[in-house]
Structures are given as C-alpha cells and as structure tokens.
A and B are shown apart, each in its own frame.
Chain A
Amino acid sequence: GNSVTQMEGPVTLSEEAFLTINCTYTATGYPSLFWYVQYPGEGLQLLLKATKADDKGSNKGFEATYRKETTSFHLEKGSVQVSDSAVYFCALITGGFKTIFGAGTRLFVKA
C-alpha cells in the first residue's frame, strides 16, 4: 500500500544550522508530494509541493526535490531560525481518496 516514512524526531538545531528532514515514500503510480508545517497551537499549512519527478518545491527558504529513483522528498533549509520550530509532515497523494501523511518530525531551533 501507499505509505510515507519520515525521520524520527525531535531534531534540535542551533540557529543558522543546516536542516535536513528525510522523507521516503511507497506508492503506486506517480504521486504528488507535499511538505506541511504545523506551528505550535495551529493547524497544518502547506509549505511546498512537487507534482512530478525532478520537480523542486520551495518556499520560505525551504526546498525539497522529488526523486523518483530513490522515492524520496527530503526537506532542506540552509539556515534555520528559531521561528522555524514546528512539526513538519511529509505527505503524498496518489489516485486514491486520501492524502497519506507521515508521522511528523518535530524541529526545535535554539537561539
């Protein structure tokens, strides 16, 4: 079946450090891939997405590239800020009726 696997958190970084949060997926067909972010006390919001292989999604300094050969969609940011502290969810959509979410990765950024 379709699934999303994310690296376990929490991830703790100092401000201005480089961030990578790994995400791999299993899916039939050609899924669209998403990263959502959940700030404390809020609902999830779309961070970025990619709809086909080799596409790069980017937003707010975050980037992720759709790698079909490795079935991955790793999230990266060159220099994190305290305000990036949140829970990050990788997700996919295939031809079914559900968005498949990963388990979430909590990020703490220290000043």
Chain B
Amino acid sequence: DTAVSQTPKYLVTQMGNDKSIKCEQNLGHDTMYWYKQDSKKFLKIMFSYNNKELIINETVPNRFSPKSPDKAHLNLHINSLELGDSAVYFCASSQGRPGGDTQYFGPGTRLTVL
C-alpha cells in the first residue's frame, strides 16, 4: 500500500490555466505539507496543515491555494499558471505537530507550464 500518494504524476498545461494536484496519506498522520522542488533540487516548503488547520503559509503567491477536506487529504490548487511554476511538487506527511518528526514524501508531481 502506498503511504503518501499524489495525482497526477505528470501535468503539462498552458500558461494561464488553473490546475489541481491531489494528495492522500494512509498513515494516520496529523500533519501534511506541500513542497516545491526546483530544477536544482532545492526544496522549499509552501504550506503545512495540522488536523485540517493551516499552520505554515510561506511567501507563496496567492494563486496557490491549499485545501484540506480531512486530515488524510491535502490538495493544491493553482490559478493562472505561470512559466515559473514549472517544478516538481511534493506532498508529505508526519505524525504529531508540524515539523516535529520524520516526514514521509509522496512520489511527486512534475508540473510543466508551456
């Protein structure tokens, strides 16, 4: 069984479109995260949710909106996509308080904006 899953794995779209990435974890964890990884592999935290409550909201454009319908799911919606949004987006989860324990990562979603 996959612990942290993301869909889709690849996403190719045109500038200006709106797209969503879904994430689910079956580990029973309280906290979920979204990270952006650029082409140089640098990993940047975007958001963190604990029991459906937003805890971390880094300096991310407000075109990015996370939504957590329950503590096992954290989806990422992106409006008006731009070329600079092209990256690999990783969902992760951990037990307990945000940032407090080992994180478990999904396989990533490679977003390409044309």
Q: Write out the residue numbers on chain B whose beta carbons fall within 8 Å of the beta carbon of A61.
A: none
Query: Most B CB atoms within 10 A — which of A89, A93, A97, A99?
Result: A99
> Which residues of chain A in 59-111 are interfacial with respect to chain B, using CB atoms and an 8 Å cutoff?
87, 89, 93, 96-99, 101, 103-104, 106
Q: From B4, B103, B107, give the contact of A99 (CB < 8 A).
A: B103
Q: Write out the residue numbers on chain B whose beta carbons fall within 8 Å of the beta carbon of A43.
A: 4, 90, 92, 105-108
Question: CB within 8 Å of A: which residues of B?
Answer: 4, 40-43, 45, 48, 55-56, 90, 92, 97-108
Q: Write out the residue numbers on chain A whose beta carbons fall within 8 Å of the beta carbon of B97.
A: 97
Q: Write out the residue numbers on chain B whose beta carbons fall within 8 Å of the beta carbon of A101.
A: 43
Chain B interface, DSSP helix/strand/loop, else mixed: loop
Q: From B45, B100, B102, give the contact of A34 (CB < 8 A).
A: B102
Q: Is the CB of B41 within 8 A of A96?
A: no
**What interface size band does chain A fall in?**
20 to 34
Q: From A44, A87, A104, give the contact of B103 (CB < 8 A).
A: A44
Instruction: Determine how close the nearest CB of chain B comes to the CB of A111; give it in whole angstroms.
Output: 23
Q: From A42, A49, A106, give the contact of B108 (CB < 8 A).
A: A42
Asked, given contacts A43-B106, A44-B90, whether A97 binds B41 with beta carbons under 8 Å apart, the answer is no
